[in-house]
């Protein structure tokens, strides 16, 4: 699966790519939220997974034609697996990272042990910036969430789907179920800008303490290709990965 082209209707712009990254502070103003330090990284999910695992933290959502569903992230009807039917608004991936840190290590051998999810109320589905941190990981860190939109709408045609009715999409890991969806995070903010945003409890893209980049400027920020190769169109196989059957 590859990122779609998304339209910024309110801005009249077309974006190359389809990911939104959220940094969310605790809604409780009395809770100190500590920004990541240089070298910090973490991982959620498992690229080798072929069965249910990180419940309620990594999921897929079958999007409606307009707007969004009202359910909590990764609550029913969202699923760890790829949707099994046509999604009239495409497929949305949600990857939610832990919000508690051991306060010492910027990484760990498995890239996960130095962070933990908070002790949460079941009604909050185990995701979000709420919840107290366990004693082993007492430092509250920003809630990082990846929201990736995949424009699968051109494939909402039964003639393009397998005759047995199974869904046709395959992750680049060779996984046709969706269990291997995962997210890697490496901190790269400059100076104390993220800490200032957390202290100000910035809401969405409204943050008086930071200089906001315009959509036009953001669209100019691109990275040139490192390898001269054809990356568009159909592939007969996934490079370096056995195709799912």
32 in a structural domain:
yes
Counted domains in the chain: 1
pLDDT at 14 over 60: no
220 in a structural domain:
no
Using one digit for the tens of pLDDT, what is the confidence trace for 167-222?
999 898 889 999 999 999 999 999 999 999 999 988 777 788 888 888 788 878 88
Looking at residue 55, what is its pLDDT? 62
Looking at residue 2, what is its pLDDT? 37
226 in a structural domain:
no
223 in a structural domain:
no
pLDDT at 131 over 50: yes
Using one digit for the tens of pLDDT, what is the confidence trace for 108-127?
999 999 999 998 766 555 55
The answer for residues whose C-beta is within 8 angstroms of residue 155's C-beta and 6 or more apart is: 161, 168, 169
Looking at residue 52, what is its pLDDT? 86
Looking at residue 8, what is its pLDDT? 35
Kindly state the average pLDDT of the residues 141-165: 91
pLDDT at 150 over 70: yes
> What domain range includes position 192?
1-207+233-245
Please state, as a whole number, how many other Cβ atoms lie within 10 Å of the Cβ of residue 238.
14
Model confidence at 84, in pLDDT bands (50, 70, 90)?
very high
CA distances from 15 to 142, 144, 150, 210, 221 (A): 26, 22, 13, 23, 11
In the DSSP assignment, the letter for residue 127 is -
Q: Which residue has the higher pLDDT, 42 or 7?
A: 42
Using one digit for the tens of pLDDT, what is the confidence trace for 44-81?
999 999 888 766 789 999 998 877 766 778 888 899 99
Taking each continuous run of H as one helix and of E as one strand, the counts in the chain are: 2, 11
Looking at residue 11, what is its pLDDT? 43
161 in a structural domain:
yes
98 in a structural domain:
yes
pTM check: above 0.95: no
The answer for residues whose C-beta is within 8 angstroms of residue 193's C-beta and 6 or more apart is: 210
The Cα–Cα gap between 187 and 211 comes to: 19
Looking at residue 243, what is its pLDDT? 57
57, two tokens: 């933290």
Query: Residues 47, 180: contact at Cβ < 8 Å?
Result: yes
221 in a structural domain:
no
225 in a structural domain:
no
Collapsing DSSP to helix, strand or coil, 162 comes out as coil
């Amino acid at each position: 699966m590859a990122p779609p082209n998304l339209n910024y209707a309110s801005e009249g712009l077309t974006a190359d790519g389809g990911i939104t990254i959220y940094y969310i502070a605790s809604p409780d103003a009395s809770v100190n939220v500590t920004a990541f330090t240089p070298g910090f990284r973490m991982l959620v999910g498992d690229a080798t997974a072929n069965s249910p695992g990180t419940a309620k933290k990594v999921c897929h959502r079958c999007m409606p034609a307009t707007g969004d569903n009202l359910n909590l992230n990764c609550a029913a009807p969202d699923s760890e697996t790829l949707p099994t039917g046509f999604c009239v608004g495409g497929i949305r991936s949600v990857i939610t990272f832990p919000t508690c840190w051991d306060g010492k290590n910027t990484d760990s051998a498995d890239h996960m042990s130095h962070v933990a999810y908070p002790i949460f109320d079941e009604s909050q589905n185990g995701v979000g910036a709420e919840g107290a941190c366990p004693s082993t990981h007492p430092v509250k860190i920003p809630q990082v969430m990846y929201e990736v939109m995949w424009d699968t709408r051109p494939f909402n045609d039964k003639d393009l789907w397998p005759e047995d009715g199974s869904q046709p999409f395959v992750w680049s890991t060779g996984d046709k179920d969706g269990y291997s969806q995962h997210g890697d995070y490496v901190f790269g903010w400059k100076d104390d800008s993220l800490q200032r945003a957390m202290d100000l409890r910035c809401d969405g893209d409204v943050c008086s303490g930071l200089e906001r980049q315009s959509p036009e400027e953001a669209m100019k920020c691109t990275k040139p290709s490192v390898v001269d190769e054809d990356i568009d169109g159909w592939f007969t196989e996934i490079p370096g990965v056995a195709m799912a059957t």
